[in-house]
Amino acid sequence: MPNERLKVLHLGPAMQAVSGVATHLNQLFDSELAKDFTLLHFQVGSEGRKENIVQKLARFFFSPFVFAAFLLRHRPDIVHINSSLEPKSYWRDIAYLLVARMLGRKVVYQVHGGALPEEFFAGNAFLTGVLRRVLSLPDVVVLLAQVELDAYQRFVPKQRLVVAANAIDAGSLVTKPIKSKSAGPLQLVYLGRLAWNKGIYEAIEALGILVKVGRDLVLTIAGNGPEEAAIRQRVAELGLSEQVRFPGPLFGEAKDALWAASDIFVFPTFHREGLPYALLEAMAAGAVPITTRVGGIPDVMRDGVHGLLIEAKDPAGLARAIARLDDDRDALTRMAEAGRARVLEQYTVERLAQDFKRIYASLFTGD
Q: CA nearest 188: which of 308, 346, 275?
A: 308
> How many angstroms separate the Cα of 329 from the Cα of each of 169, 182, 308, 324?
28, 6, 14, 9
Q: Is the pLDDT of residue 97 over 60?
A: yes
Q: What is the DSSP string of 260-301?
A: HH-SEEEE---S--S--HHHHHHHHHT-EEEEES-TTHHHH-
Domain ranges of the chain: 6-167+348-365, 171-346
Q: Is the pLDDT of residue 49 over 90?
A: no
* pLDDT grade for 3, boundaries at 50, 70 and 90: very low
Q: Is the pLDDT of residue 1 over 60?
A: no
Residues 269 and 294 sit within 8 Å (Cβ to Cβ): yes
How do residues 293-327 score in pLDDT, each as one tens digit?
Answer: 999 999 999 999 999 999 999 999 999 999 999 99
Amino acid at the residue 230: A
Q: Does this model's pTM top 0.85?
A: yes
Q: How does the average pLDDT of the chain come out, rounded?
A: 95
* Residues in CB range of 178: below 8 A, 6 or more apart: 286, 333, 336, 337, 340
How do residues 201-218 score in pLDDT, each as one tens digit?
Answer: 999 999 999 999 999 999
Q: Is the pLDDT of residue 240 over 60?
A: yes
pLDDT at position 182, please?
A: 84
Which secondary structure element, helix H or strand E, spans residue 67, and what is its range?
Answer: helix 53-74
Which secondary structure element, helix H or strand E, spans residue 9, and what is its range?
Answer: strand 6-12
Q: Is the pLDDT of residue 272 over 90?
A: no
* pLDDT grade for 59, boundaries at 50, 70 and 90: confident
The region of weakest confidence among 3-12, 22-31, 136-145, 232-241 is 3-12
Average pLDDT for 95-105: 97
Question: In the CATH scheme, what architecture does the domain 6-167+348-365 have?
Answer: 3-Layer(aba) Sandwich (3.40)
Average pLDDT for 96-105: 98
Topology of the domain comprising 171-346: Rossmann fold (3.40.50)
pLDDT at position 183, please?
A: 86
Tally the C-alpha atoms within 13 A of residue 274's C-alpha that lie toward its C-beta: 23
3-state secondary structure of 309: strand
Q: Do domains 6-167+348-365 and 171-346 have the same CATH topology?
A: yes
